[in-house]
Amino acid sequence: MTAGFVYVSLRQRPGLVSAAAEWFHEKWGVPAEAYLDCMRAYLEGKTDYGWYLCLHEGQIVGGLGVIDNDFHDRKDLSPNVCAVYTEEAFRGRGVAGRLLDLAVADMRQKGVSPLYLVTDHTGFYERYGWEYLCEALSDGEDHMSRVYIHR
């Protein structure tokens, strides 16, 4: 791990909820209010599905969440890791891998396993213990995406 990175769950830093919702919105185009709704449910204990951030010098440089379904047709594959993103300047330093490991460990501690993830990437998630499972059709897409599982 590179020095200077701090990895937290949103429950550890609830004061970041608005900044985190806006950061995810800027990366993925999903309305900030949708992120806020999920994050508030997590902070209020209505769900154990979490949100995880990587901070560098107090700024969010990476993040991901766990939700019921990441906008795809395989509703039986739940919960899903979603919104995995690392700022371009911080890629290649293990940020996303550490966040994935943090989320998997936290969910497993809460008795939540397996986790699923929908992506068009190949070769990345396998490095962190994820296995290709099947394909799913994401909302609004005309092509199938890869679904991974972490057992």
The answer, yes or no, to whether residue 1 has pLDDT greater than 60, is: no
Residue 28, H or E segment: helix 17-28
Q: Are strands 51-56 and 144-150 parallel, antiparallel or unpaired?
A: unpaired
Q: CA nearest 23: which of 66, 53, 57? A: 53
Q: Determine the Cα angle at 72 with ends 48 and 134, to 5°.
A: 95
Q: Does residue 151 register a pLDDT over 70?
A: yes
DSSP 130: -
The mean pLDDT value for 136-147 works out to 93
What pLDDT digit, counting tens, does each position of 18-53 carry?
A: 999 999 999 999 999 999 999 999 999 999 999 999
Domains (range + CATH), the chain: 5-113 (3.40.630.30)
110-120 confidence digits (pLDDT tens): 999 999 999 99
